[in-house]
Amino acid sequence: MIARTILNVDDYAPGRYARTKVLTQAGFEVKEAGTGREALRLAMEWHPQLVVLDVNLPDINGLEVCQRLKENPLTSAIVVLHLTASKVLPDDMVRGLNSGADSYLSEPVEPGVLVATIRALLRARQAEEALRRSNDELQHFAYMVSHELNEPLRMITAYTQLLARKYAGHIDATADEYIEHTLKNANRLHGFVQDVLNFSRATAPERNFGNVSLESVLATALYELQLPVAESGAVITNDPMPAVFGNEMRLVRVFANLIGNAIKYRGAEAPRIHIGVEEHDDFWLFSFRDNGIGIERQYWDTIFQVFKRLHGKDVPGSGIGLALCKRVIENHGGTIWLESELGQGSTFFFTIPAGR
Ligand code: ADP
């Protein structure tokens, strides 16, 4: 079995030695640090699974050490167990946990309690990692399947189109009907595979974030939607769009899905869509308002789940668009929700943190 590694951080040497002894006897591999700086260096170089972190350190305070460990993607997965002196106030505990610590113990700690707490924390982290790995695998699986299906499907659609162009009306009515069915279903499947592919791409863990102009995000989304906009006679207006910290390609998917839906789920009138922006203290609030068919209140949450659709085969779609929007917005540190009145229209809102 691989040894479980612990970084034991305390400026009080006798206490630190005693703790190392207890942990080593319990089967852990232990290294020691007497200062915050030393702790950060060892965490970066050695990557222990857990840090037992004394809060009162002479150089960098333990709370700040914890915060820095959690902010750094290279060390953020390390479990932090804060240890403090005997007279702890509830406020200190709150501050410790708010700095990102996974748990908190106050001295004196019974050796048995320390070891059992560490084992419990590592068990929880192991379960979390297993879940993350299986999630990543599933995501990769969905990507590979849709990627592999995409090309042959594109060929099937293209050849059926050729077949229709060359032979429709030249064989007989049944043949025309078969060609039409094949083409319709190939197009449907192609659309579905594209949606799954977009979903896997837009929700993969990669975080290529930067300064993104939402003016240009909107322009790209509208360029993609030229055809449905023209066909439906949609009138789309917008407030001036700010720049935000984010991923351009993923935000284009959000804009394209929300505007595309406002067109797809239109009522009897031509779609009128307004994209609004409000600046708040530390976030932007975006709204996509339409005059479409509306959504009953009981579905306001469920439609953000993958494959949840309220409309059948009459409207093309795979129920993936809003699930994608939710993942992307949450990855940007925001939230997404909607308000709607049946028969009147819907407004989808989302926030994105400002000033990052
Ligand atoms: P899809 O459009 O592929 O079905 P989505 O995840 O984008 O998938 O949307 C899920 C469901 O939510 C849609 O099937 C539709 O019933 C409903 N919906 C989404 N946007 C709107 C809207 N603007 N107006 C009315 N209904 C909508």
Q: How far apart are CA 112 and CA 91, in angstroms?
A: 26
Average pLDDT over residues 307-324: 86
Q: Is the pLDDT of residue 2 over 80?
A: no
For residue 299, the ligand 1 atom closest to its alpha carbon is: 12
Q: pLDDT band for 86, please (50, 70, 90 cuts).
A: low
Residue whose Cα lies nearest atom 13 of ligand 1: it is 309
How is residue 142 written in tokens? 């969905």
CA of 261 to the centre of ligand 1 (A): 6
Q: Within 10 Å of residue 42's Cβ, how many Cβ atoms?
A: 17
What is the distance in angstroms between the CA of the first residue and the CA of the last residue of the chain?
43
Given this model, what pLDDT does residue 338 score? 98
- The answer as to whether 179 is a domain residue is yes
Q: Is the pLDDT of residue 314 over 80?
A: no
Q: What are the tens digits of pLDDT across the range 210-264? A: 999 999 999 999 999 999 999 999 999 999 999 999 999 999 999 999 999 999 9
CA of 236 to the centre of ligand 1 (A): 18
Respond yes or no on whether the N-terminal peptide bond of residue 228 is cis (omega within 30° of 0): no
- The answer as to whether 198 is a domain residue is yes
- The answer as to whether 281 is a domain residue is yes
Nearest to 212 by CA among 250, 240, 239, 238: 250
**Higher pLDDT among residues 90 and 287, named by residue:** 287
CA of 345 to the centre of ligand 1 (A): 12
- Report the sign of the C-alpha dihedral through residues 159, 165, 171, 174, in that order: positive
304 residue type, one letter: F
Given this model, what pLDDT does residue 15 score? 92
My answer on whether 236 and 345 are in the same domain is yes
Nearest to 88 by CA among 66, 62, 122: 62
CA of 310 to the centre of ligand 1 (A): 7
Q: What percent of the chain has pLDDT over 90?
A: 69
My answer on whether 177 and 298 are in the same domain is no
Nearest to 77 by CA among 134, 133, 31, 21: 133
DSSP characters for 293-338? S---GGGTTGGGSTT--SS-TTS---S-HHHHHHHHHHHTT--EEE
Q: How far apart are CA 169 and CA 171, in angstroms?
A: 6
State how far the alpha carbon of 74 is from the alpha carbons of 90, 188, 220, 305, in Å: 30, 43, 34, 31
**Higher pLDDT among residues 313 and 172, named by residue:** 172
Respond yes or no on whether the N-terminal peptide bond of residue 14 is cis (omega within 30° of 0): no
pTM for the model: 0.73
CATH number at 18 reads 3.40.50.2300
Domain that holds residue 10: 5-109
Residue whose Cα lies nearest atom 14 of ligand 1: it is 309
CA of 218 to the centre of ligand 1 (A): 19
Q: pLDDT band for 85, please (50, 70, 90 cuts).
A: confident
* Structural domain count, the chain: 3
Nearest to 123 by CA among 190, 53, 50: 50
Q: Is the pLDDT of residue 137 over 80?
A: yes
- The answer as to whether 284 is a domain residue is yes
My answer on whether 195 and 68 are in the same domain is no
CA of 271 to the centre of ligand 1 (A): 15
329 residue type, one letter: I
Residue from 253, 265, 305 whose mutation best tests the ligand 1 pocket (most atoms within 8 A of CB): 265
Nearest to 244 by CA among 101, 350, 126: 350
Q: pLDDT band for 356, please (50, 70, 90 cuts).
A: low
Residue whose Cα lies nearest atom 4 of ligand 1: it is 319
Which of the listed residues 146, 168, 202 is the one where a domain comes to its end?
202
My answer on whether 14 and 91 are in the same domain is yes
How is residue 64 written in tokens? 């700040």
CA of 303 to the centre of ligand 1 (A): 7
- The answer as to whether 119 is a domain residue is no
**Cβ atoms 124, 81 nearer than 8 A:** no
> What residues does ligand 1 touch, defined as CB less than 6 Å away?
257, 261-262, 264-265, 290, 292-293, 295, 303, 308-311, 317-323, 346
Q: Is the pLDDT of residue 1 over 60?
A: no
- The answer as to whether 89 is a domain residue is yes
CA dihedral 342, 259, 204, 187 (to 10 degrees): 90
List residues bridging with 66 in a β-sheet.
Answer: none
